[in-house]
Chain A
């Protein structure tokens, strides 16, 4: 950022007094338009994870080499990735959530921030202490700590500017998501679906942290911030108002108060509609019999007005979840042809195994197709009702508690978990990291105690049977038709966020620790083994005329810590765990940022 700009920003009110609406806006949108930066975790407001940079191409990617590396000094799962603004790179770590500002000139540490957090949050974090990265705007770095503290730091010095708590770890509430800066607001969510947390999203004043609005996923209309008459949802082939008590009507008694619907995913924002898009997680508990009804609005895509918080439309993907198919995965905004007609689309790869395309302005359902042929819990999504048609055999509710429902695909990890896909603006296709894992699922009755696990199901997971034997695929997807264009098998789940570029290269990381470059047909061009398994996301930037690729390695997350629960006698069926146990042959813990570039000519 130039000095002039910085000076101007000190006096925005003076300079822009005539246009107060604009005065408040942050510089983040502008920064994302310059491909030299990587100014948001997903690269832009629309969750594209696409870069216009094209120094690295499908012709020369095989020459990539390590430019420099940086250790975070922390173990456990390193999700998210680096931000680059100008000549500074910002990188974070899992708990204790360190933040480093590194000079791109000599990789020296300009400043380091390490929050003081109560270690009691560690046991609450569902066993891994991930954090999906920091956000930047107007000379501030925003960090969402594990203990639910949202903090703003001075990007120049690392000094704390303000702090606000958005939850209570004593109730099982923690936070793992990146903060999202849209216009003049910072939006954040909550985790804790396995502790009976009641999900919500909060919007904060970027300059003070003050809460501007707070919208719950479950409960009464005013707390949902919906309007029974004007908030719309897909109903019998068209959009219709949701009506009064849309959530309360779908829960038994007070269960909605422990209802889950957490909000730990990747949100997006469309300045044209002023709508924020995000998804909600699983309903609590995992024993579906304890919560009869559709459990709205868990497992739902929300479109809310950024300024008022009011929901314009909602769409529930998995009514009455029986498999833990959280709906939090990224909402990608893309203007594409859908079944031949140009649409302002929202594309979402759900944990439930269906790739959804909706009209992001109206909320209409356009496409819902399986993005892994093995998906079997539902035959299809009924396009008129928008409801998946559940196969009785795989209904853990119909089969009931203490019955082991076997062979459900996908597993609770979903066909895709939070690892974000990339939308390539050149090809119009989506490049998606996926899981190829199925499960056995046995629910049981469970009682709620505040701050204690509230799961109520035992799971066993294994590679999809009668397939290539691996636990993942990396695929190309046509969201306009709902078809897999190509699929590249992987030994393990692909738990790394993808990146595609104008140089016709697609990057992703693997759990063994490889960073891979493939061409637009999925052909492997290059790979490099980083120090640990990759659950981070691939980012790119340019500094002094050179394009760099950066990725965090550091095994962890749900995939890396193993899989829950054998139910069968002895070790039969525990081969599931064996699938991931193999990982130990390839990788060990430890967080490192590895940065790649082409050699100097």
Chain B
């Protein structure tokens, strides 16, 4: 069903002569764990906010839902809305009080989208072209 809609969408886009936006991912990744500086900042934001306490180390969900699945469904705007304003009664805090999150929300989205797409591996990341980590 989803796939059908996606195909339809791409078809419509192509018919309209527009680029299929869905095809340009918001992240760059090599070897599964080397990413562009923005996506790296997104991962650091994820880490600093201790998101894994609810969503799991690999974003597969624990008390909170699986973000690997959620980001297949949520639009970027919906994602930002949930992160900034929370779903309080479900236990999701509002992060609009965090400078780190508000400044890096696009990068956080990029990182999680990469995880959801299966392009970025779980765990620690480093910058493309830089020797890092251990």
B89 and A564 contact, CB distance less than 8 A: no
B92 and A574 contact, CB distance less than 8 A: no
A561 and B91 contact, CB distance less than 8 A: no
Q: Mark B92-123, 1 if CB is under 8 A from A, else 0.
A: 11010111100000000000000000000111
Instruction: Report if B8 contacts A (CB, 8 A).
Output: no
* Chain A residues near B62 (CB-CB < 8 A): 127, 561-562
Instruction: Report if A123 contacts B (CB, 8 A).
Output: yes
Q: How far is the CB of A98 from chain B (nearest CB, A)?
A: 17
Instruction: Report if B58 contacts A (CB, 8 A).
Output: yes
Cβ-defined partner of B57 (8 Å) among A119, A570, A577: A577
A120 and B58 contact, CB distance less than 8 A: no
A569 and B33 contact, CB distance less than 8 A: yes
A452 and B63 contact, CB distance less than 8 A: no
Known contacts A123-B92, A444-B47, A458-B52; A569 and B32 CB within 8 A of each other: yes
B134 and A404 contact, CB distance less than 8 A: yes
Closest-by-CB residue of B relative to A458 is B47
Closest-by-CB residue of B relative to A77 is B63
A452 and B52 contact, CB distance less than 8 A: no
Size bracket, chain A contacts: 35 or more
B97 and A451 contact, CB distance less than 8 A: yes
Q: How far is the CB of B45 from chain A (nearest CB, A)?
A: 11
Closest-by-CB residue of B relative to A568 is B123
Cβ-defined partner of A577 (8 Å) among B49, B56, B88, B99: B56
Chain B positions 46-74 with a Cβ under 8 Å from a chain A Cβ: 47-50, 52-54, 56-58, 62-64
Q: How far is the CA of A109 from the CA of B48 in the complex (A)?
A: 45
Instruction: Report if B26 contacts A (CB, 8 A).
Output: no
Q: How far is the CA of A129 from the CA of B47 in the complex (A)?
A: 22
A119 and B89 contact, CB distance less than 8 A: yes
Q: How far is the CA of A415 from the CA of B22 in the complex (A)?
A: 48
Q: How far is the CA of A456 from the CA of B49 in the complex (A)?
A: 9
Instruction: Report if B124 contacts A (CB, 8 A).
Output: yes
Closest-by-CB residue of A relative to B53 is A127
Instruction: Report if A447 contacts B (CB, 8 A).
Output: yes
Question: Which of A404, A452, A577 has most B Cβ within 10 Å?
Answer: A452
* Chain A residues near B89 (CB-CB < 8 A): 119, 122
* Chain A residues near B91 (CB-CB < 8 A): 122-123, 127
B50 and A194 contact, CB distance less than 8 A: yes
Instruction: Report if A47 contacts B (CB, 8 A).
Output: no
Instruction: Report if A453 contacts B (CB, 8 A).
Output: yes
Q: How far is the CB of A35 from chain B (nearest CB, A)?
A: 38
* Chain A residues near B56 (CB-CB < 8 A): 562, 577
Known contacts A447-B100, A571-B58; A564 and B52 CB within 8 A of each other: yes
Q: How far is the CA of A404 from the CA of B122 in the complex (A)?
A: 15
Instruction: Report if A566 contacts B (CB, 8 A).
Output: yes
* Chain A residues near B99 (CB-CB < 8 A): 449
Known contacts A564-B53, A569-B32; A574 and B58 CB within 8 A of each other: yes
Q: How far is the CA of A571 from the CA of B89 in the complex (A)?
A: 32
* Chain A residues near B63 (CB-CB < 8 A): 127-128, 561
* Chain A residues near B93 (CB-CB < 8 A): 120, 123-124, 452
Further 7 A-B residue pairs, CB within 8 A, beyond A119-B88, A563-B57, A566-B123: A123-B92, A127-B53, A564-B57, A569-B121, A570-B32, A571-B58, A577-B58
**10 intermolecular pairs with C-beta atoms under 8 Å apart:** A123-B91, A123-B92, A126-B53, A127-B54, A127-B63, A460-B57, A564-B52, A567-B123, A570-B121, A570-B123
